[in-house]
Amino acid sequence: MIPNMRVLTVTSFGETPEENYRVTLSAMNIKMVAAQDGIVQGRPVKVTTVLFMDDPESVTLNLSEFDLLQVEGVVGSYGFMEE
């Protein structure tokens, strides 16, 4: 994890491989992340809800465990930098 990272790109899994898509998040604008276990395309995923500081609408992504850890890491880093 890079502490001065401005954006983070992750893959969200769709119901079929054709529905998979890449998402680039502005890490410093993420307010909160919530995740629960799920199954997509027969694989375990973390169904992740991302809330942003400047937008009342949340985004739901189906992330791998690794991508979720990356998102949580940058959110945590920016949280400490603001204090």
Q: Report the chain (83 residues): mean pLDDT per 10 consecutive residues.
A: 70 96 89 95 96 91 95 75 50
Answer whether residue 73 is part of any domain.
yes
> Which class for 77: exposed (0-12), middle (13-18), buried (19 or more C-beta within 10 A)?
middle
Name the domain count of the chain.
Answer: 1
Residue 47 lies in a domain: yes
* pLDDT score of 75: 80
Confirm whether 38 is domain-assigned. Answer: yes
Residue 22 forms part of a structural domain: yes
pLDDT of residue 12: 97
Examine residue 52 and state whether it is found in any structural domain, yes or no. yes
Residue 54: give the domain boundaries.
7-82
pTM: 0.83
Is 1 inside any structural domain? no
